[in-house]
Amino acid sequence: MDLTPLKASVKLRARVDFDDDDSDIELSLSAAVLDVLSAAEVEIPEDITTLSDDLTFAIVDQAVMLYDSRGPDIERPLGLSMAASRIVSRYRGVKAS
């Protein structure tokens, strides 16, 4: 899955103006996609741009939280960011018929 369309949003929200941390941002994005979509009980799409705007925002917010807590002295935060948690709660248990 190509996460390039979301990388610019993460860099903007995390206030990253350079390309040195692109690999860290991509890693944070990959983890955020798995965190958010598994919590929302939504299958991972082939094209990330097909997700709804609120799930996309939740992924970006989660990725920013993970990016901000990177480093050897900081443990990975447990759970979702506050915004992602609220968005995901709307999707839990909702199944298309």
Query: Each residue of 61-82: pLDDT tens digit?
Result: 999 999 988 777 767 777 899 9
Q: Give the model's confidence band at 94: pLDDT under 50 very low, under 70 low, under 90 confident, else very high.
A: low
Encode pLDDT of 4-58 as tens digits: 889 999 998 989 988 888 889 999 999 999 999 999 999 999 999 999 999 999 9
Q: What integer pLDDT is reported at residue 40 of this predicted model?
A: 93
Q: What integer pLDDT is reported at residue 59 of this predicted model?
A: 96
Q: What integer pLDDT is reported at residue 77 of this predicted model?
A: 74
Pairwise CA distance, residues 5 & 8, whole Å: 7
Residue 95 pLDDT > 80, yes or no? no
Is residue 15 helix, strand or coil?
coil
**Reported pTM:** 0.85
Secondary structure string (H, E, C) spanning 38-93: HHCCCCCCCCHHHCCHHHHHHHHHHHHHHHHCCCCCCCCCCCCCHHHHHHHHCCCC
